[in-house]
Structure 1
């Protein structure tokens, strides 16, 4: 039996690929803290205006079947094409459907869905997971498919229930679209989704968005140009040499960068591995935001909505950082540090949209693994240290035989590891490893919480 911690795309695709492999698959128990099995954070949204940031042709859940999503959509009477950007909630339905289809041949409970928060893990020949409510789950192997972490806590914000610490937590935006202005800290993809939702909920809502660079995501071209593979020097690689190669390619194409970024994307893990540790850190501090803006683009329809909001004054983007925020009457007084000097905003709500926290020890499960020496952070502190096959490394650098991870926890090791095209490849490879492991153990049995 395999315990999967996390019910989002990473965990779902791992189970799906194992169930589709042929032969008797492992049994799975999928543990999700919010009970959003098959959806996770990304695809649990109910707002139909939240669209996938990749076109349908790239979003098949099945690694060796690129047309799987489109066949599913058409089988349900949806008038969708390969170049459409589908609603994320529809993609969540698709993932649930794929999981149900994969488990259908195994009517005796091949997948058990469990709602709960895993707070500890004792590795060993039979790993044991401890849940916050006191239950335990014993397994042959464990997959940490925990996805992106919530944003970091803000001790300098004292705004009571006017503050939203995690915009993707269930019910986080309930009552926020009341027409009062909203300050969103962060100007990436999450901010775009929040601005679309909040301004759509009330015609008077104005969104102020602030970040250090004040950069918004770029948008996809339609139609998309085919990816271009640019020459990269062989052998040892430096960040400076990589940047020169990219700039030369963009200049040679007359400034057209979309195809070059798309051609680089599948090569990022291998290029990242070739960079010295110091250059990786320099990239994170100097260039990462610019890569993210061009790499994680928004659909044309969403881009048009953003431009409309900016033109009407309902989305106002600022460069700067949040110095403090305190409750003030029926709202929040926010103080910003901007290039022009201190700036005050009075808003009804403030939302933390700064992206995943890198303080790993605030997570009870990860903290327990680090404290016991069962795991260690990757060298950059972005996630878990792991072997190439996803086996988690202990404090001494030894790979576990029964503890694995994939997706966002591998960001420090692969950098590009948060989107479906990368995750489904990792899930397919891990599914094969898990099937071999549980077959060897001879103890593949359904886990029951104790």
Structure 2
């Protein structure tokens, strides 16, 4: 049996590729999701059809060997779509569930059990055991931690009672927030963009204030997109300064057009990241990561047009600064901001945490238990879990587990670029092949008899 902890895109793609990899009968699969959003996860469970994928249809197939798979699926549903379109995220969630159903149908006798529950511990050893908060336990031949992005970090100054939303993507988090009162969103990235679209669409009077240290918004995709452009990358020892000079020179040589350069660089990011000294990786995270993110993770032209219209009308107001206090007034929240121009107060109806995934791994009860037991350790940057190149989890002493693996966002410290569907899809396929060699799973006909 393979237990997959996480039911979002990472977990679903793992299940799909495991079913495809075991060609003579698949093992029993158990997918555990704490919110019961199997196949959807955080990213694709949105009910707002204006929340679009941030990559076009041509790049989002769940199967690398069938690049037109998503487009064919969309057209089979009677929808007029092109490979350059940006689909609604909730439609992509339906697609992932459909791909899983198709993979199950292709393996008669396969069992895929969807379990809702919070995982609280993982006991490693000769045979790992996953335990849930309600007492259920799942002994496994192999465990895959497909936990996706973590919730945002808590802001210590924001304690605004029911008017504070600590995680915008938790089920029901935005219920009642579109009441027409102004909203402060902490963060100006992709989450903020989605929140601004939803909150202003829920009530014609809602104004969204968005604050972050840099006040930078994601860039927009060009339409049509220029093809990725490869650039000559330095060989041998690499430093952050040399890498940044190389990228800037390539953009200048391309007439200032940076979209193609960034897209051409993307497949090389994991290997470049590995070559950088750890000190340079830390400097990148401190000094340059935000600038990379807004150019790498762009928004569709349609979404960008909505954001522009909201800003032009004054319904989206972007601020540079940081919240330092929050006072619950009963009918609203008074937020104190530290801005480049000095202290400022802002009165709003609600405050929403729209920052990125938390970096304090030990704040996650499950991960904290793993670290305490010595079954796992953080990577050297504290961005995720330490693992081998093929995703085998490393214990506290640096020894790889033979039956416990991870993929996707938990590998960010090792790969940096590991959150988009193409990266996760390829990791899932490679991991599925690795699972075929795990003792106990290699004898599937015996297990199914």
- Comparing 237-246 with 146-155, greater Cα deviation is found at 146-155
* Structure 1 gaps, min length 5: none
DSSP 3-state at the match of 2:292:
helix
Partner of 2:442: 440
- TM-score, normalized by length of structure 2? 0.98
TM-aligned CA deviation for residue 364 of structure 1: 1.5
DSSP 3-state at the match of 1:20:
helix
Partner of 2:7: 7
Q: How many residues in Structure 1 have an aligned counterpart in Structure 2?
A: 446
Query: Residue deviations 1:86-108, cap 9 Å, x none?
Result: 00000000000000111113454
Question: What is the distance in 2 between the residues matched to 1:287 and 1:364?
Answer: 30
* Partners of 1:208 and 1:318 within 8 A in 2: yes
* Partners of 2:25 and 2:110 within 8 A in 1: no
Partner of 2:202: 201
Partner of 1:96: 97
Equivalences for residues 167-182 of structure 1 within 5 A:
167-182=168-183
TM-aligned CA deviation for residue 440 of structure 1: 3.3
Partner of 1:163: 164
Query: Residue deviations 1:278-329, cap 9 Å, x none?
Result: 0000000000000000000000000000000000000000000010112013
Partner of 1:282: 283
TM-aligned CA deviation for residue 126 of structure 1: 1.2
* 1:267 pairs with 2:268: yes
TM-aligned CA deviation for residue 345 of structure 1: 0.5
Query: Residue deviations 1:321-373, cap 9 Å, x none?
Result: 01011201301000000000001010000000111001111111111111011
* Partners of 1:57 and 1:67 within 8 A in 2: yes
DSSP 3-state at the match of 2:75:
helix
DSSP 3-state at the match of 2:323:
strand
Question: What is the distance in 2 between the residues matched to 1:291 and 1:138?
Answer: 42
Question: What is the distance in 2 between the residues matched to 1:381 and 1:30?
Answer: 26
DSSP 3-state at the match of 1:294:
helix
Partner of 1:366: 367
Question: What is the distance in 1 between the residues matched to 2:106 and 2:324?
Answer: 56
Query: Residue deviations 1:393-429, cap 9 Å, x none?
Result: 0111110000000000000000000000100000000
Partner of 1:190: 191
DSSP 3-state at the match of 1:379:
coil
Question: What is the distance in 2 between the residues matched to 1:117 and 1:199?
Answer: 33
* Partners of 2:180 and 2:203 within 8 A in 1: yes
* Partners of 1:26 and 1:434 within 8 A in 2: no
Equivalences for residues 44-123 of structure 1 within 5 A:
44-108=45-109, 110-123=111-124
Query: Residue deviations 1:19-68, cap 9 Å, x none?
Result: 12322122210000000000010000010000000000000001211111
* Structure 2 gaps, min length 5: none
Query: Residue deviations 1:253-283, cap 9 Å, x none?
Result: 1211000000011110000000000000000
* Partners of 2:168 and 2:174 within 8 A in 1: yes
TM-aligned CA deviation for residue 158 of structure 1: 1.8
DSSP 3-state at the match of 2:52:
coil
Question: What is the distance in 2 between the residues matched to 1:23 and 1:48?
Answer: 40
